[in-house]
Structure 1
Amino acid sequence: MILGFTVVQVAVAGLAAVLCIVLGLAGRVPNDLTMGAVALIEILLIAQLVTALVAPAVGNSSSGSLLEFYTYLVSALLIPPAAAFWALIDRSRWATVILGAGCLTVAIMVYRMQQIWGS
């Protein structure tokens, strides 16, 4: 994994989490801003998947468990669509908080993936 890209992913996911949680607690239902933030996180995770597949071919191999790393990555890829699906069905302020919780979960998982890759 690339450390700079990991920092960007964690920062974006953290900011999206704060945004969604604050808007949800303020009573706002899911909207284009919150759903767009979750979509951006999913795009970054797809880019991370491509990077993780290409990195060993160019000499940046994992020193940790590849099974554990890819389990985290696939799980993280499933969280934003699941949260967005929930938000589209529920359409309440708590759905916006769930979007934030999903973003926070992804931030933590990406940080852990960086630890696994470099350990």
Structure 2
Amino acid sequence: MIDWLTTVQVAVAVAAGLLCLVLGLAGRKPSDLTLGATVVVELLLIVQLVVSIVSPAVGNTPTGDALEFGLYLGSAILLPIGAGFWALVDRSKWATVILGVADLAIAVMVYRMHQIWFVQGG
């Protein structure tokens, strides 16, 4: 992991999550704006996947359990896909709220992945 990338991911996921939550609770159905914000979160997770594969090869190894990190990353990558599918099928204001909850959950998961990578003792 890269510190600045983690900060960007958490900030974007929180912003997207709050946007989707506010719009959903205001009664807006899923739109290009809310789905697009979630797609940006997903693209950043794919960048994180690539960084996580390359980092150990260049000497940036995790201090925590690599399996736990991988499971967090895999789950985080699947969350926006599931929420986006829900939003495309349901088309109600609650689908927009689900997009927001998924984005906020991803922010927490990325922060936890950062802890696993850097904070824990080996």
Indicate the TM-score class for this superposition, using the shorter chain for normalisation.
over 0.9
Letter in 1 for 2:2: I
Displaced runs of 4 or more, over 4 A: none
| Alignment size in residue pairs | 119
1:40-51 paired onto structure 2 within 5 Å: 40-51=40-51
Q: Identical aligned pairs, as a percentage?
A: 61
- Whole-Å separation in 1 of the counterparts to 2:13 and 2:56: 25
Match runs of 1:44-59 below 5 Å: 44-59=44-59
Q: Partner amino acid for 2:8?
A: V
Alignment of 1:26-37 (within 5 A): 26-37=26-37
Q: What corresponds to 1:6 in structure 2?
A: 6
Which runs of no fewer than 5 residues in structure 1 stay unpaired?
none
| Counterpart amino acid of residue 101 in structure 1 | V
The offset of 1:96, in angstroms, is 0.2
Distance 1:46 1:65 in 2: 20
Distance in 2 (CA, whole Å) between partners of 1:43 and 1:25 is 25
Offset of 1:37 from its aligned partner? 0.4
SS at match of 1:30: coil
State the superposition RMSD in angstroms. Answer: 0.4
CA distance in 2, matches of 1:99, 1:43: 15
> Offset at 1:93?
0.4
Instruction: List gaps (5 residues or longer) in structure 2.
Output: none
Residue number in structure 1 paired with 2:80: 80
